Amino acid sequence: MSKYPVNHRKESHYRKAKQKGYRARSAFKLIEIQKRFNIFKRAFYILDLGSAPGSWLQVTKQFAIENLEKYNDNHYSRTYYKIMGVDLKKLTPIEDVEIVRMDLTNKELTNKINEYFNREKLDLIISDASINKSGNKFSDQARQIKLCYEILKITKFLKYKGNFVIKLFQGNDYEEFYKVLKKKFINIKSFKPKSSYKKSNEIYLIALKKK
């Protein structure tokens, strides 16, 4: 259960999400990230980790479809997109999106990714994955960082100059993870969307242009 349930159904982002057909208010976090950092530029092959309930997949599909028309030129472009979502929880299907119900640390995930994307490198990997919080700030942050390092391994599927987005909890290990990410990407930005709960310690690292 969320740590911040007060007036959730009356909260503006929740209402707006329902009006626009998104499954959760978290859709607006990804939209904010796109507006600020343009992570979906020429992104056609996209992997979404920690996908439940599917709002990020909905937004991703919208941008992927737009890209087919927007980037129909002589530079890097495609005539189709491929999107895969991964989560332990069961997701309601989304048309033309591959959904895999699996732990992100499962070694079989490598085969699933290679099979679906035909062993081609990905343009973008995004992750809103989170541990189940216990309420202990320090242990939760440590467990989240551990998960983030596992997710970081999956960036081996990302193409040269591909982009990566990951959620962390601010704490003792944050700076070290930032340094590790800096070795793999040209530009790293930290960002807390306005649609995040104010009291939440979540923060996103936007890693642009894989080295």
Task: Quote the strand ranges of 72-150, DSSP E.
Answer: 82-87, 98-101, 122-127
For residue 71, the SS3 value is coil
- Where b means 16+ CB within 10 Å and e means fewer, 105-115 reads eeeebeeebee
Q: Say which of 29, 61, 82, 167 is annotated catalytic.
A: 167
Distance from C-alpha of 113 to C-alpha of 57, rounded to nearest angstrom: 16
Under DSSP, the state recorded for 1 is -
The answer to whether residues 206 and 176 touch, using CB atoms and an 8 Å cutoff, is no
Distance from C-alpha of 203 to C-alpha of 194, rounded to nearest angstrom: 11
Distance from C-alpha of 14 to C-alpha of 188, rounded to nearest angstrom: 29
90 in active site: no
- Catalytic (active-site) positions: 167
